[in-house]
Amino acid sequence: MDCAGSPVDIEESTTHDWWKQVAVYQIYPRSFADSNGDGIGDLQGIISHVDYLEKLGIDAVWLSPFYPSHLADGGYDVDDYRNVDPRLGTLDDFDELVGALHAHYIRIIVNIVPNHTSIHHRLFQEALVAGR
């Protein structure tokens, strides 16, 4: 892992196979930590636990779906791959999470499922209109 003396900088990694020998901790955002008391875990909840994650000695967080979703498939039915589910936070919260993890020498792996999407996704709706 490339983190000698400075926070993680993915661009300066010297090897592409870093993931083969690291401890990865998977987080399902909706149930990990609730920062605002609404009963749903969120990105700020994860941010508030970065010190805990560092103490575990992990090298990377595998972040399960955090995209807008109707939750027909546990969040894997993504409505918009370019945004954050508003129940979980904002794009600024995501950027803050990435920065907080990297500042603690923890990489982030984003779980994305490109082989299917939600029936509410724009591309799915366009395909319906086009009769595909």
* Percent residues over pLDDT 90 in the chain: 55
Contact 120, 78 (CB under 8 A): no
- Are 42 and 92 within 8 A, CB to CB? no
**CATH number of the domain residue 56 falls in:** 3.30.750.90
53 located within any domain:
yes
Report if residue 1 sits inside a domain.
no
Inside any domain, residue 43: yes
Neighbours of 32 (CB within 10 A): 18
Mapping DSSP to helix (H, G, I), strand (E, B) and coil, where does residue 16 land?
Answer: coil
Nearest C-alpha neighbor of 66 from the set 10, 109, 99: 109
The average pLDDT across 100-116 equals: 89
> pLDDT for 30-89, tens place per residue?
999 999 999 999 999 999 999 999 999 999 999 999 988 877 667 777 778 889 999 999
The domain total for the chain is 1
Residue 5, domain member (yes or no): no
Domain presence at residue 7: no
Q: 98 lies in which domain range?
A: 18-130
Asked if residue 104 is part of any domain, the answer here is yes
Q: pLDDT tens-digit profile of 57-73? A: 999 999 999 988 877 66
pTM summary value: 0.79
pLDDT higher than 50, residue 5: no
Q: Is residue 94 a part of any domain in this protein?
A: yes
Q: Is residue 121 one of the residues assigned to a domain?
A: yes
**Closest C-alpha to 75, from 113, 48, 37, 101:** 113
Of the listed ranges 12-16, 76-80, 124-128, the least confidently predicted one is 12-16
